[in-house]
Amino acid sequence: LSEPEQGQVGTGDCAFPPRLAPDDAWRCPHCQVLQQGVVKLSLWTLPDILIIHLKRFRQVGERRTKLSTLVRFPLRGLNMAPHVAKRSQAGSLYDLYAVCNHHGSMQGGHYTAYCRNSLDSHWYSYDDSAVEPVLEDEVSTRGAYILFYQRRNVIPSWSASSSVQGGPAPLPSALAPGDVLLRGAQAWPTQGRL
Ligand SMILES: [Zn+2]
């Protein structure tokens, strides 16, 4: 992400360094001339669960600093099609179901979560033992750290239930809001991280 320190960016602003530096030049196999290459990165296949890890910590020399740039991200319909190399693939729309937030600085911080309940489709804030409703408008904050998206209309095989509305929901009676979503998130292997 390009990151004006206190400004705001959107998930569509994701950009890689457009050109390699001259001292990092690439030798063209055809003309054997050193060229300033252009960096391009795209995904080959799309996962059922897409986890986006925002860069919130920056190393400057010896110091590490917290970045509080406001990143605007869609709660529904994140379209990954422009970032996929193989365009024919079906199902590139994602809906957000959880956000991990980091509050504080490098010296001390606190984590909270916003999760969408698959039963009532409402968002809830999880702060230690406190759970309270949040408005959709409040889900995107400067504290957003890790975004959890689920491919639309897909129920992963490893998931007992799903945040997809209308999915099968044989639920135990003692379930708290968000339990299903968190259990699903934990079951995802860490290698799926970006
Ligand atoms: Zn060449």
Q: How far is the CA of 22 from the centre of ligand 1 (A)?
A: 15
pLDDT at 92 over 80: yes
Nearest to 115 by CA among 131, 93, 92: 131
CA atoms within a 13 Å half-sphere pointing along the CA-CB vector of 118: 26
The type of residue at 126 is Y
Q: How far is the CA of 24 from the centre of ligand 1 (A)?
A: 16
Task: Find out whether 132 and 178 touch, Cβ atoms under 8 Å.
Answer: no
CA gap 170, 112 in Å, rounded: 28
Q: How far is the CA of 41 from the centre of ligand 1 (A)?
A: 21
CA gap 74, 1 in Å, rounded: 16
Q: How far is the CA of 32 from the centre of ligand 1 (A)?
A: 6
Highest-confidence segment of 9-13, 122-126, 186-190: 122-126
Domains defined along the chain, listed by start: 43-163+171-186 (3.90.70.10)
> Which residues are within 8 A (CB) of 18 and not within 5 positions of it... i.e. 6 or more apart?
38, 39
Q: Mean pLDDT over residues 167-186, rounded?
A: 45
Q: How far is the CA of 30 from the centre of ligand 1 (A)?
A: 5
pLDDT at 7 over 60: no
**Average confidence score pLDDT of the chain:** 77
> Which residues are within 8 A (CB) of 91 and not within 5 positions of it... i.e. 6 or more apart?
46, 151, 152, 153, 154
pLDDT at 54 over 70: yes
Say whether pTM exceeds 0.85.
Answer: no
When pLDDT is cut at 50, 70 and 90, the band that residue 37 belongs to is confident
Q: How far is the CA of 51 from the centre of ligand 1 (A)?
A: 38
